Every structure is written in C-alpha cells, then in structure tokens.
Structure 1
Amino acid sequence: MFIDPDRLETRLREEFDGTEGESRVVVRQAVDLADSGKYGDDIGTPLTTDAVLEELADAPDGTPSERWNWWIGSLEVAYGGYERFGIRQYRK
C-alpha cells in the first residue's frame, strides 16, 4: 500500500487543521482511491501519502475535506470517473 493511513491522518490534522473525524474520512477516500488503481492508471504513478499532501497543499484554503473535494473535482474534469471518491457530506 502506498498510502500510510496513520501518517496521512496525522499530517492532515497538523497541516490543514483537520478534526480527527474529518481527517479519517479523507484518509478513507484516499485509501479507496489508491486501492482502485484509477489514479495510477490515469497519472502513471501510484497514489502516495506525499502525493495526496502535495495536491491538498495546492488546493485553495479550506478544511481537509474541502481541499480533497477540490482536487477530486480537478481529476474528474481531467480524466472522469473520480466523482465516487468525493466527500458528499461531512458532519462536524
């Protein structure tokens, strides 16, 4: 597995002020995306913890889930098939 869930969750909380619950939701979606192989097929490299953090750092300011959805939306526009990895609703 190229995603380290514990490391990703910790970094989301530290770098993007994510709550524990919200960060877990983003980690779950990242793991699902990595496991699907879609990102690797489209981009040509496996999805890693560092790649997720770099992409979310490039997103407009927001919570981890807002940043995640911005990135997933970009992938959806570019390649299609990413909508299922978006976070539809997060309750605080």
Structure 2
Amino acid sequence: MAHRSVPCPATAVAMQTGAIFTGLAVGAVNAHMAGVAAARQAREERASHILAHQLNDAVSVAHEWADYAKRLIAENEKLKAENARLKAVAEQRRGVIERMKKVAA
C-alpha cells in the first residue's frame, strides 16, 4: 500500500458529515433540554396561579365567616338585652300581682 500525498476525499467528507451531525445532535439535545425547562416552568407557574386562587378563595371565605360571626355576636347582644328587659317586666308584674293579692286578702 503506497502512501498518498493527497488526503483521502472520503475521509474529509466523513469528518465534515460527522461534525455536522454532532452539531445537529448538540442542537437537538439543547432544544430538548430547553423544552423540558419550559414545560417545568409552565407547570410551576400554573401551580402558583392555582395556589394563589385557592388562597384568595380561602381569604374570602374567612372574611365571610368573620362577618357572619360579628352579626351573630350583635344578635346575641340584642337578645341578651331583650332577655334582661323581659326579666325586669316579669319581676315588675310579679310585684304588682303580689301587691294585689295582699290587698285582696
């Protein structure tokens, strides 16, 4: 086998083709990794929006329950005042009845 002074054209083509496919493979891997990162980011953003919505709902419900509790407290105070007034009226009437019994006896 004789040594050639001119490089083999097939070797040059094979090296160029290998370099091109290597570049394409690196590009494909980078694109895939970027896609995976973008998908992960989208999932995290979606989860974040869902949690923010759930938090807003929970805060809204908590405010509604707090308002309801305040209304119940106010109603309870009104009922206590009405109860005290009715006790006073009942005591007064009991006194009147007792005095009438003494006068009748």
Q: TM-score range by the shorter chain?
A: under 0.3
Instruction: Give the TM-score normalised by the residue count of structure 2.
Output: 0.19
Instruction: Give the TM-score normalised by the residue count of structure 1.
Output: 0.22
**Greater length-normalized contact order (CA 8 Å, ≥ 6 residues apart):** 1
Q: Which has the higher helix share?
A: 2
Q: Which has the larger radius of gyration?
A: 2
